[in-house]
Amino acid sequence: MLDIKLIRQDPEFVKKGVKDKGNDSNLVDQIIELDLKRRNLIQEIGDIRHKKTEAENKLIKEGKDENALKILKEVKVFLSEKEESLKQYELDLEKTMIQLPNLPLKDVPVGLSGEDNVVLREVGKKPNFSFKPLDYLTLGESLDIIDVKRASKTSGSRFGFLKNQAAVLEFALINYALSVIIKKGFTPIVPPVMIKPDLFKGMGYMDQSDEEMYHLTKDELYLVGTSEQIVGPMHSDEVLDSKDLPKRYVSFSSCFRREAGSYGKDTKGILRVHQFDKLEMLVFSLPEESEKEQQLILKIEEELMKGLNLPYRVIRICTADLSHPSASSYDIETWLPSDNTYRETHSNSNCTDFQTRRLNIKYKDKKTGETYCAHLLNGTVFAIGRMIIAILENYQLKDGSVSIPKVLWPYSFGIKVIKKI
């Protein structure tokens, strides 16, 4: 949620940011009007309560007083009406406020759609096969390491079993990533995958739609779509010490998404599934350090990709393609030979204080003693299924086997090549 003080002080700045993200800037005018009415009503209620206190004091001092009793009777009804009106204004203001997205940082490229995202760099050499490369699903099924047919039997469409060397590859990727990231000051964490609705809403992923989320109505819990949705709220209603920031976490969890809008061949394998495992970075930062922390997250993502020797490109996301909570985002897209294109494998977002304001996560400034909202960032380490896809396609051999990247050998139980068992 945006700071109401910013909206009051510089509505035109807020309108521009909202418009650049493709949202309705008229919402800002509605918020200003509701906020003004709310504040005027608060003043009225304050005046009425003062009048009520005066009448009560008069009765205490002078005993029975018909005029004072009349005032108290009138004030009681009037105050109740005004307080009900205030509740409604506050509710309307909150409903309108949560429709506003986070504002893009000043260096984010302005664009009208994802077509205006900016390719910053391409890294790595694309494989030059002497044979026609196979797609990952054909490889995975022939090597008996991916089984979507039996997963369909047990769970329905958009699920998959990772078997044999693919299962080994998952744990190798996890251990390789942790061996790099923990040394950089990240605390490893395995969080719950169920979250309370109010904290889920606090992260800002449900402000526009919850159709992607799995809702356990009987338990009034949601399944997380990514672990930052649960690790962020871990510090809700806390005041962190500024000397402890940045506070960095690397979390592992299964993730759950309906993938309601996806269609076509992406739904037939393990690229877009309802359940997948992911390692995620999450950072709580001082406001003045959050842009630097975002670059650190991006640097780690690229370091891991270079270690795997996978060809990729870095994308700067334009204003219109930013998510609702994000003020600045980068994507990493990895080369998939079967599609002859890059596909998204990583995201990286600076959500500034948009989420922490609603979650009431603050830090205490050691100089002033004042408390302020911390900044919150997140970044993909590995979405496991997509990384396995990338490895299978880029490391495939002519005989249908697949080499395992050398950096994973210490974690792959001596397996260097995936062959059909």
d(CA 420, CA 262): 31
d(CA 418, CA 165): 6
Give bridge partners of residue 314 from the DSSP assignment.
Answer: 121, 332
Determine whether 347 is an active site residue: yes
Question: Which of the 8 DSSP states describes residue 396?
Answer: B
Side-chain-side CA neighbours of residue 211 (13 Å): 6
Closest by CA to 210, choosing from 191, 219, 223, is 223
Which entry of 228, 293, 386, 412 is annotated as an active-site residue? 386
Which entry of 38, 158, 248, 272 is annotated as an active-site residue? 272
Give bridge partners of residue 336 from the DSSP assignment.
Answer: 341
d(CA 312, CA 302): 9
173 is written with which tokens? 């990727």
Which entry of 38, 158, 248, 257 is annotated as an active-site residue? 257
Determine whether 272 is an active site residue: yes
Cα dihedral across residues 366, 371, 372, 373: positive or negative: positive
Per the listing, tokens 């670059």 go with 295
Question: Which of the 8 DSSP states describes residue 271?
Answer: S
Which entry of 33, 94, 238, 344 is annotated as an active-site residue? 344
Which entry of 227, 285, 290, 347 is annotated as an active-site residue? 347
Burial of 113 (0-12, 13-18, 19+ CB in 10 A): exposed
Other CB atoms closer than 10 Å to residue 116's CB: what's the count? 14
Contact in structure between 387 and 171 (CB atoms under 8 Å): no
Determine whether 358 is an active site residue: no
d(CA 179, CA 201): 33
d(CA 125, CA 307): 13
Contact in structure between 7 and 27 (CB atoms under 8 Å): no
| Residues assigned a catalytic role | 257, 272, 344, 347, 386
